[in-house]
Amino acid sequence: MISVKKIVITGAAGQDGLILGLKLVAAGHKVVGIVRSADQKAFLESYNPAVKSEILDSSTLTSVREFLEKNQPDQIYHLSAKSSVANSWSDSENTLQTNIFHTLNWLNALNELKMHSTRFYHASSSEMFGLPKSHPQTEETLLHPRSPYGVSKVAAHHLVVNYRESFGQFASTGILFNHESPLRDIKFVTRKISQAVAEIARGKRDSLTLGNIEISRDWGWAPDYVDGMISILEHDSPDDFILATGESRTLKEFAATAFQSVGIEDWEKYLTIDSALVRPADVISVVGNSHKARQMLKWSPAVSFESMVKRMVDFDLELIDTGEMNRSWKPE
């Protein structure tokens, strides 16, 4: 019989937060999902009514402290962030403010309330590596971020480590490499590709426009990575863990795999390259070494790259075929 925990998820209406909420509720836990707006609250309540949704402004220490005093959670998954790498250039101040200082408010509130045994998970990112000096990247690889988003994640990551080492906070980080699902917003290039390919396959559009298709990422299936997040926070001691497949694929390969999943082999004729979509100082190639997580957490990704891409395209095809364009995906 499991021990029922009270668990808080910030960013509960995002891809990982939604999947995490489903898994934690299914395990019998009491889950509070923190969102930023009334629209997000309404969406979360519709998507997973078992999660108690709450709007909270994490920009002030007082509001976070009051929330913790009232709720006394056993665990906190801090997933909330300004998560668009591309948009972080045009919205750099807000990106740093949200990703660094909101995280700091949670850490300070926990410390002031002496809630050091409350388990805190922070969503770090492979974007912290940026221009890595070694391949594949491990937890010890020098960080060299290449965007305001990456810089913000480096700062927040080090804050978590410092509060763990300085105050004994049970604070862990998951350095997750790219992980996708049909819950990705269309602003993410992977969902942009899957949606466009589905529309091309159904004759609803005739092209897909991308920027630099030679960039390479270590892509995995989001529900696998959420399982890893849970394992990180359930581990006996707080630590930092990379979650990755260990294989890097180019954006060109992602697009080709998506087209091939619907039987389109001559896919390049549908592709348009727009240099305006190329990011400043982009991360060219990253690939993660998740040996530590595999050994200590017994975690490993279950879904292949090809299956991940196909599942995303299949869902977008289903939306077109059923006409239910506003329906949200749920993992099986």
Active-site residue set: 125, 127, 149
Task: Render 7-71 in DSSP notation, one character per residue.
Answer: EEEETTTSHHHHHHHHHHHHTT-EEEEEESSHHHHHHHHHH-TTSEEEE--TTSHHHHHHHHHHH
Measured CA to CA, the distance from residue 196 to residue 199 in angstroms comes to 5
> Residue 280 is encoded by which pair of tokens?
């400043």
Examine residue 73 and say whether the peptide bond preceding it is cis (omega within 30 degrees of 0). no
CA distance 136 to 131: 12
- Taken in order 255, 252, 174, 232, the sign of the CA dihedral is positive
Report which of 24, 222, 214, 244 is spatially closest to residue 127, judged by C-alpha positions: 244
**Cα distances (angstroms) measured from residue 154 to each of 4, 109, 123, 127, 214:** 33, 21, 11, 9, 25
6, 74 in Cβ contact below 8 A?
A: yes
Beta strands in the chain (DSSP E): 6-10, 30-35, 52-55, 75-78, 119-125, 171-176, 179-180, 208-210, 216-217, 220-221, 240-243, 249-250, 271-273
Q: What is the DSSP letter of 161?
A: H
Give residues with Cβ within 8 angstroms of 77, minimum separation 6: 7, 8, 9, 10, 17, 20, 121, 123, 229, 233
- Around 9, how many Cα atoms within 13 Å sit in the side-chain half-sphere? 29
User: In what helix (H) or strand (E) does residue 193 lie, and over which residues does it extend?
Assistant: helix 189-201
